[in-house]
Amino acid sequence: MRSVFKHELRLYSHSMLAYVFGAFLLEFIGIGAMMYNINSAVANFEYALGTFCIAFVALVPVLTMRVMAEEKRQKTDQLLSLLPITGVDIVLGKYFAMALVFIAPMLVACVYPFIFSFYGDVYLPTSYGALFAFICLGLALLSIGMFISSLTESQGMAAGLGVVVMLFCYYSASLADHISSTAFNVVALLVIAALLALLVRRLTRSDAAGLIVLALCVAAVVVMWLVSPDSLATLLPDLMSKLSPFERFYTFVNGVFDVTAIVYYISIAVFFLFLCVQSWEKKRYNG
C-alpha cells in the first residue's frame, strides 16, 4: 500500500490536477468567508462551508475521474495485478493519496476561524466541528467518486456519472419534499432494485446473484405494499432525506455536532471502498 501511496502522490505532485483542485476549493471557501464573515460580519464560519459545499459536485468528479479509469485505459491495471500486492493495498493506497490532496488545502482553511477570532467573537468549537465534518463529507464523497471511476475506462464517463451522482446527493432532500405519490414511489423503488441488481451482477459476473438481489428487493416492496401501503408512500422520501450526506452536514452548520453523521460518513467511505476493491478484484480474476 505504501508504494502505491507514494506513486500516486508523485503523480499528483507532477500534475496540475492537485493544485487546481486545491485552488478552487480554497476559492469557494474564501468566497463564502468573504460573504458571511467579512462583508456581513457574521461570526459563524460554518455558514461559509454550508453555502459552498455544493462545490463538491464539480470538484470531486474532477479529482476522482482518473484514479481508477486511467489504469484500465492504459492497461496498467494488468501490471499492478502481477505485483505482490492485494486489491485492498491498491485501492487504499490510491484513496489515501487522494485524501491527502483534499486535506492539504483544508488545513489552510482551518486557519480562517482562528484569524477571524482576532476581529470578533467566533465560537471556535462550532467552527472547527463544522470543518471536521466538512472534511469527513469530502472523504465520503471521494470514495463514491473512486468507485464510479472503477466502473469505466473513460475519464469523461467517470466525471459525467460522478457529477450526476453528486447532484442527486445534493438535491435528494429537496426532491424528497415533492414525492408523495405511492405509485411513483413503487416504480422508483423497483428501478432502484433493478439498478442494484445490475451493480451486483457487474461486480460478481453472476446472473444468479443479480437475479437473487432483484427478487429479494421486489419481494420486500410487494410485502410492504400489502402490509403497510401508507409506509410505502413515505419510504422513498425518508430514505432520500436521511441518506443524503449533504443534508446531514447542515446539522453542523446549525451548530450541532452530530456524531451519528460522522459515523455515517465513515460508513459511506468504507462501503464504497469495499465495492471498489470488489470491482478491482473482478477485473483481476476475469482478465
**What was the pLDDT predicted at 132?**
93
**What was the pLDDT predicted at 260?**
92
146 within some domain:
yes
Query: Which cell numbers hold the place of 223?
Result: 410485502
267 within some domain:
yes
229 within some domain:
no
Query: Which cell numbers hold the place of 238?
Result: 425518508
Residues 6+ apart with CB under 8 A from 282: 202, 203, 204, 205
Nearest to 277 by CA among 74, 7, 81: 81
210 within some domain:
no
29 within some domain:
yes
**What was the pLDDT predicted at 285?**
53
Question: pLDDT means per 10 residues in the chain (287 residues)?
Answer: 83 85 88 78 79 87 85 70 76 91 91 82 85 93 91 85 88 71 66 76 70 79 71 70 84 87 93 86 60
Query: How many domains are contained in the chain?
Result: 1
161 within some domain:
yes
Q: Please give the Cα distance from 97 to 1 (Å, whole number).
A: 10
Residue 66, CA atoms < 13 Å, CB-side half-sphere: 11
DSSP string, 209-276: HHHHHHHHHHHHHHHHHHH-HHHHHHHHHHHHHHS-HHHHHHHHHTT---HHHHHHHHHHHHHHHHHH
**What was the pLDDT predicted at 134?**
93
Residues 6+ apart with CB under 8 A from 207: 201
**What was the pLDDT predicted at 69?**
79
Burial environment of residue 266 by CB neighbours within 10 A (0 to 12, 13 to 18, 19 or more): middle
Residue 275, CA atoms < 13 Å, CB-side half-sphere: 20
Residues 6+ apart with CB under 8 A from 151: 158, 161, 202, 279
CB 32: neighbour CB atoms within 10 A? 21
**What was the pLDDT predicted at 15?**
83
pTM of the model: 0.85
**What was the pLDDT predicted at 182?**
59
CB 4: neighbour CB atoms within 10 A? 20
Residue 9, CA atoms < 13 Å, CB-side half-sphere: 13
Radius of gyration of the chain from its Cα atoms, rounded to whole angstroms = 21
Tell me the three state secondary structure of residue 256.
Answer: coil
Using alpha carbons, list the distances in angstroms from residue 213 to 26, 30, 219, 268. Answer: 43, 46, 10, 20
Q: Where are the beta strands (DSSP E) in the chain?
A: none
Query: Which cell numbers hold the place of 200?
Result: 451486483
Per the structure, the complete domain to which residue 21 belongs is given by: 2-174+241-286
Residue written as grid cell 413503487: 186
**What was the pLDDT predicted at 254?**
85
Helices first, then strands: H and E counts in the chain: 15, 0
199 within some domain:
no
CB 116: neighbour CB atoms within 10 A? 20
